[in-house]
Structure 1
């Protein structure tokens, strides 16, 4: 019994007509008849009856249909698994990410990739952008989702998302019901920020925005994660400028108000070593590019 016999059998079982089945299989009727006869000899039972009214499945043939289909499915799965092993599409990828990507891009990319490559395991590590750069340099990460413009030589990148900054205030704050807010209105407020060590680019950018508005913020709290900044603001302990995607975090007690001026965007880049030649990495980058736009 050969897989060819099973394919021919299933097509004939669907068509119940030698001419149509042969046409679907792109062969002539004599080879089809010969292969069916060989299959019946191998099975040891007639699978079809042939008479003037056409072709019908015997009881044995009806019972053989699901078994034949399962055998072909198993063979196809085995072949796919063998190809994936040969192509490096099994194993794992080490992926770093900064927390805000969970609200803008990463879940969609993960879903698309998992559907196409279920055998490649993804190990996700939440890290600051600066820590990701170190691990990428030492190849402890295969790729990372970072918030920085300081990309070392030898790396490639894709822009995953770009979003504005918004004001984050406690729900009970006097300014929380404004539809839009000027930065100058935050002068004198205690600020919560991601620390300079964790995100030097955006720490400096927020200071620059405040300077443009005519004041230097009173930085009372420095934290490692944006979500921690929002959580602290939600407890009534300060104000902050945060990426707009954090509105999706749904933390009670925090209100997000758009600014009345355009701010430099908060960009997320997917970053990897250009020279890194890995089939799994290339496959994951396909999912990233399907969601995002390349950096020009």
Structure 2
């Protein structure tokens, strides 16, 4: 039995760890060697040395192929964020030496507007007057890769589940409202109950089980006693309130303030018991950022309505 104390285990060589990941993610050893500009023999030797350092077998070498063992699968899963963390460390050290700071890039899902993102960051921006900050949209299909590549430093989205290999925290909550066309039956009442939505199509931006936000909305409908009819919005990238201009029979959950919008063609209605949508931050483990810490440590609160 190995000693359970972490200090008794050897540290993996970062360069060999990078080479292992290249081999594990490439179709052949030859392709990995070409990507790394080394010979196949040198790459094979590096992998065997890493196995010797760790005291495990990382690949089953059978039928002229390389197939990850259980230990190899675990190393691959953990190595990606560790390597990214090492790159973050190198950048931070160089910036400290040069007395410079890179722009902290916040990617946000399309479900959050730029105005809402600013409200979430405002206190941290005020506390870091020399920190450049860039906020830009990041789609769910790409933000994991963008975090690992270092093109974004933090993701803000509506959600609570944590993708594998990332770290997360819920940093705020936001009241939802309902947008309907001005001539929609639900445009007349002062306030809307969730059960009033029964029988009216609901516009969402992604199918069920493909988006936490959609699943969150569907769950609220079911708890209110009805199964929603979902329609996928065919216009992406515009304010959520515009969805009911494209599909006037349907309604859409939004965060805009209550009242008329789009020249009175759309009405935003308050709920009697509004759903609270969680806003989640996602980032890479093994990384350190004072600005990110400030964002995460801001007291959780209900975010003000968009545009209010």
The answer to whether TM tops 0.5 is yes
Contact kept, 8 Å, 1:243 with 1:266, in 2: the verdict is no
User: Where in structure 2 are there 5+ consecutive unaligned residues?
Assistant: 1-93, 302-308
RMSD: 3.7
Contact kept, 8 Å, 2:243 with 2:252, in 1: the verdict is no
| Inter-partner Cα distance in structure 1 for 2:220 and 2:239 | 21
Contact kept, 8 Å, 2:187 with 2:267, in 1: the verdict is yes
User: Where in structure 1 are there 5+ consecutive unaligned residues?
Assistant: 1-82
Matching residue within 170, 183, 188 for 2:194: 183
Q: Provide the residue aligned with 1:203 in structure 2.
A: 214
| Inter-partner Cα distance in structure 1 for 2:98 and 2:105 | 18
CA deviation map 1:254-275 (0-9, x unaligned): 2222333453x31111221121
In 2 relative to 1, CA 130–259 (structure 1 residues): closer, same or farther, beyond 3 Å? farther
CA radius of gyration, larger in: 1
**CA shift at 1:185, angstroms?**
2.5
Moved more, 157-166 or 227-236: 227-236
For the residue of structure 2 that corresponds to 1:269, the secondary structure is strand
Work out whether 1:151 is the aligned partner of 2:162: yes
TM-score normalized with structure 2 length: 0.54
**CA shift at 1:151, angstroms?**
0.6
In 2 relative to 1, CA 197–173 (structure 1 residues): closer, same or farther, beyond 3 Å? closer
| Inter-partner Cα distance in structure 2 for 1:244 and 1:268 | 12
In 2 relative to 1, CA 257–92 (structure 1 residues): closer, same or farther, beyond 3 Å? same
- Count residues in correspondence: 207
Matching of residues 144-293 of structure 1 within 5 Å:
144-196=155-207, 200-223=211-234, 225=236, 227-234=238-245, 237-245=248-256, 251-252=262-263, 253-261=265-273, 263=275, 265-277=276-288, 282-289=289-296, 291-293=298-300
In 2 relative to 1, CA 283–238 (structure 1 residues): closer, same or farther, beyond 3 Å? farther
Work out whether 1:92 is the aligned partner of 2:103: yes
**CA shift at 1:198, angstroms?**
9.6
Which has more helix, going by share of residues? 1
TM-score normalized with structure 1 length: 0.56
